[in-house]
């Protein structure tokens, strides 16, 4: 068969299969409602796009400029303005393999935290510490009201994590070459992993709170509730205090599975037992997939606690009831979400390599990619909220549940 004809037949088959998957599944009404929601409130995808674009600008432009001014002459990054398209078949297979874990983590992010908040989290940490628009006091009162004395401890942890977030760009990026002159490599590596862990706590909690805000925004559309962004954000912060128990579980698992092994691998006597590269391999092949699967299995915890402010035990009871009644629909939703995220990550890996990661066209794509990912993530997040509310309200099979 003609290779060109075979290629177009494969494309036509893929499009036909995608259409059948999208329009012949039991959650298609929720997917449609998700699109209607982001059309009504474009803030959903614009918020994710702003965070994603800030992260991409930092990675693709900020770090390159920093390396250009800090590194010696022969080690500076090389700027390529043009490069011919190059994507061998072997890398196509490698891109397909590399896309599985990011797609799995993106699906898990729908039920946890789909937002990459750095470096915007640095600004958020500063605003929180200076009590911008009173949000710092709202958080403090919500924690004390919910957890009593433990609220002060949680407040202290969040404050310390915010301070570490402010220190992260100064220590791990701009100040790293300077500190390397005075600190031994092992101590510098351990300090870097520790600061990265503490800042991760704040980045995660900040993204977690923003995701609660977006969930409540979709809920306001479902119920036809009017609101102001300021009041909705304050309400999201108060709800964040109710969901913090689940966030603490996720942070404890990620710290134990990922950050603690990295920190210990740089400190004696653990550094003599295991190499840092071995721990990094374990994180990529074991810890991250295990954490993503855990979050997918307990998919309803975040949204249940957001809406009902229950204890973890009651949330587990409601989660198991949801799985018994709506497990089939949830599996369909997970499949559709994975297909979309996998397609995006495969396209991202293929275009990044084919255009050239250091070439101008490759950098341009990596700055545009977060906009596409933000739209897909916002659509699926809104669809998830619509699907969940539709199921728990007893309208799982009502295609016209939302009429406005």
CA distance from start to end of the chain: 51
When pLDDT is cut at 50, 70 and 90, the band that residue 282 belongs to is: confident
| 404 belongs to a structural domain | no
- Evaluate whether residue 380 is within a structural domain: yes
295 found inside a domain = yes
3-state secondary structure of 191: helix
| 348 within some domain | yes
Residue 269 covered by a domain: yes
Q: Which residues span the domain enclosing 331?
A: 23-72+93-392
pLDDT tens digits for 89-112?
777 788 888 899 999 999 999 998
Q: Which two tokens stand for residue 330?
A: 């949830």
Of 58-62, 283-287, 306-310, which range is least confident? Answer: 58-62
Mean residue pLDDT of the chain comes to: 81
Instruction: Enter the pTM of the model.
Output: 0.85
Task: Quote the pLDDT of residue 145.
Answer: 77
Within a domain: residue 270? yes
pLDDT tens digits, one per residue of 305-319: 988 877 888 889 999
Averaged over 58-78, what is the pLDDT?
68
- CA proximity to 138, closest of 233, 253, 19: 233
Question: Token pair for residue 180?
Answer: 């390397």
Number of H helices, E strands in the chain: 19, 0
Backbone angles phi, psi at 350, to 5 degrees: -65, -45
Q: Is 178 contained in some domain? A: yes
Determine, yes or no, domain membership for 180.
yes
- Contact of 188 with 144, CB cutoff 8 Å: no
Total structural domains within the chain: 1
């Amino acid at each position: 068969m003609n290779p060109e004809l075979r290629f177009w037949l494969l494309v036509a088959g893929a499009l036909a299969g995608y259409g059948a998957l999208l329009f012949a599944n039991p959650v298609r009404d929720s997917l449609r409602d998700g699109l209607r929601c982001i059309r009504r409130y474009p803030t959903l995808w614009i918020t994710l796009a702003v965070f994603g674009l800030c992260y991409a600008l930092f990675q693709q432009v900020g770090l390159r400029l920093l390396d250009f001014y800090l590194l010696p002459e022969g080690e500076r990054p090389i700027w390529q303005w043009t490069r011919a398209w190059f994507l061998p078949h072997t890398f196509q297979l490698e891109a397909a393999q590399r896309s599985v874990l990011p797609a799995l983590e993106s699906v898990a992010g729908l039920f946890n935290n789909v937002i990459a908040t750095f470096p915007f989290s640095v600004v958020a940490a500063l605003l929180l510490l200076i009590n911008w628009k009173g949000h710092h006091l709202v958080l403090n009162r919500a924690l004390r009201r919910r957890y009593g004395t433990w609220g002060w401890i949680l407040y202290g942890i969040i404050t310390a994590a915010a301070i570490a977030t402010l220190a992260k760009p100064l220590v791990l990026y701009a100040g790293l070459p300077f500190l390397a002159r005075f600190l031994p490599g092992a101590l510098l590596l351990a300090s870097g992993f520790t600061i990265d862990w503490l800042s991760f706590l704040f980045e995660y909690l900040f993204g977690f709170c923003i995701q609660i805000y977006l969930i409540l925004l979709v809920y306001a559309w479902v119920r036809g509730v009017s609101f102001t962004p300021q009041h909705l954000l304050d309400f999201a912060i108060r709800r964040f205090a109710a969901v913090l128990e689940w966030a603490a579980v996720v942070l404890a698992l990620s710290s134990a599975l990922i950050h603690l092994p990295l920190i210990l691998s740089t400190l004696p006597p653990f550094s003599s037992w295991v190499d840092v590269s071995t721990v990094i391999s374990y994180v990529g092949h074991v810890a991250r997939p295990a954490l993503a699967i855990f979050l997918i299995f307990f998919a309803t915890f975040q949204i249940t606690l957001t809406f009902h402010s229950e204890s973890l035990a009651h949330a587990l009871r409601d989660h198991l009831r949801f799985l018994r009644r709506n497990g089939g629909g949830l599996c369909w939703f997970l499949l559709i979400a994975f297909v979309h995220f996998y397609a995006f990550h495969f396209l991202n890996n293929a275009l990044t390599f084919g255009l050239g990661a250091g070439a101008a066209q490759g950098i341009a794509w990596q700055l545009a990619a977060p906009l596409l990912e933000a739209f897909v993530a916002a659509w699926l997040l809104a669809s998830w909220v619509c699907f969940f509310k539709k199921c728990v309200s007893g309208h799982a099979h009502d295609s016209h549940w939302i009429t406005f």
